[in-house]
Amino acid sequence: MAEQADAFVFFGATGDLAFKQIFPALQEMVVNGTLEVPIVGVALSGANWTVEDLRKRAHDSLAAHGPVDETAFAKLSGLLRYVDGNYDDPATFAALRRELGDAKYLVHYLAVPPALFGTVAKGLAGANCVEDARIVIEKPFGHDQASAQALDAVLHEFFPEDNVYRLDHFLGKDSVENIVYLRFANPLFEPIWNRNYVDSIQITMAEDFDVADRAAFYDAVGTIRDVFQNHLLAVISNLCMEPPSEGSPSSARDARATLMKAVRPLAATDIVRGQYAGYQDHEGVRQNSTTETFVAVRLFIDNWRWAGVPIYVRSGKCLPETATEITVRFKRPPHVVFDEVVSPDSSHLRMRISPDISIGLGVRVKRLGDDIVGEDVELALVEQAAHALPPYVRLLGDALKGDDQLFSRSDLIDAEWRVVDGVLGQGTPVYPYEKGAWGPDVAGAIIGEHGPWITPFITKSDTKGSPEKAKS
């Protein structure tokens, strides 16, 4: 573990990500006592901002996404500094160095487009701000495998790999970390977590809203790059990796990377892309755009544990609800003891990642009465996500401590791009679907005999009634 940081620098301090996520996280870190060092915001405001303007921006952010804790905000305001200037101007970085004073163990957080990562890194190097410093970058880490490798080469000119922290906020979610804990802390699951007992796995990441003001960004990215290559493959790595070695700080990262290197690259026959009706009416979307707003894929992992087990993943916008959920279906016993037709849903483990955290175990029980007839039930535990530590609070706090376990390493990112690289072009059609549908009908062909797709579980946090299983 590296030294505790003595200053936090964040580029893009006037931007949308800072407004929606970073200022609320910084206030909570102040409340928790995990942030007590100077915070230097860097941006080109276009209006020659001062630190007072940044403090007002921070207060407006908290009023919109807070709430404001005035005591904590007063302390946060006292820690704030500001540098206004172009990222390609050495004077900007000279001013930053002056604001940092004698601070040595710096954390540089880049809430800026990836095209500026190299420019910022070069500027930091020219101002003596890289020695013993860590750089935290946001996804997307490149646009494909080749560009990700080129980005790594640029960053590694100024920062060693151990000091590059690639932030995927999904890895900072308690519910995603709990996948690993649930697997390896409970003796019930590990013996059956393999190809001998698991029939198939389904993962759904659904959003009931459209691209809104992100249309121009989204049209250059699409669902595969926006959430599948990073968030969803990160979930799969936690779900399917081998047990980390005890006592090794990097063992979990090693296990994730090893698993991802075994995932078979996607072919055109493994994917269905879709686009919701009206997508091309958004300002910023190209005419006749073929960018996908929905994707369904079939994955296989070519290793001893998972050989032959299909993993089905779907994600999209303008779907019927907003939820992210995993369902692991177990194989039925080879001999039917009771004379009845049993649904494959009767034996499963369900893990819900958002909007709440829940775990459900599907079992079959006998109905009351003389007849030996069963019914499917689910034993469910539900915990509201409001009790979880927000991902940016956890991850930025870890970066300040020099704890990189929940950050993505370059070999993991390279392996993730290898999985999707072959289907990033225009080789697969884009099927239309109506808003409020579960994507295009043809998505059912991907899942085939292991279908149908499992609709995420509706819990009391989603409806005014008691928990019930949603109907497709």
Residues catalogued as catalytic: 231
Strand, coil or helix: 3: coil
Distance, CA of 387 to CA of 406 (rounded, Å): 20
CA-to-CA distance for 166 and 392, rounded, in angstroms? 13
First to last CA, the chain: 47
Q: What is the CA radius of gyration of the chain?
A: 24
Question: What DSSP character marks residue 344?
Answer: G
Q: What are phi and psi of 139, to 5 degrees?
A: -65, 155
- AA identity, residue 305: R
By CB atoms closer than 10 A (0-12, 13-18, 19+), residue 248 is exposed
- What six digits make up the tokens of 301? 């992992």
What is the Cβ-side half-sphere exposure of residue 64, based on CA atoms within 13 angstroms? 13
Degrees, nearest 5: CA angle 315-320-322: 60
Identify the three-state secondary structure at position 374.
Answer: strand
Q: How far apart are CA 233 and CA 171, in angstroms?
A: 11
CB distance 360 to 349 below 8 Å? yes
The candidate with the shortest Cα–Cα distance to 297, out of 426, 195, 428, is 428
Tokens of 77: 């305001």
Closest CA to 321 of 204, 169, 467: 204
Cis-peptide, bond into residue 452, ω within 30° of zero: yes
Q: Residue 207 contacts by C-beta under 8 Å, 6 or more apart in sequence?
A: 315, 316, 317, 318, 319, 322
Query: CB 126: neighbour CB atoms within 10 A?
Result: 14
Conformation bin of residue 308: beta by default, left when phi > 0, alpha when psi is -120 to 50: left
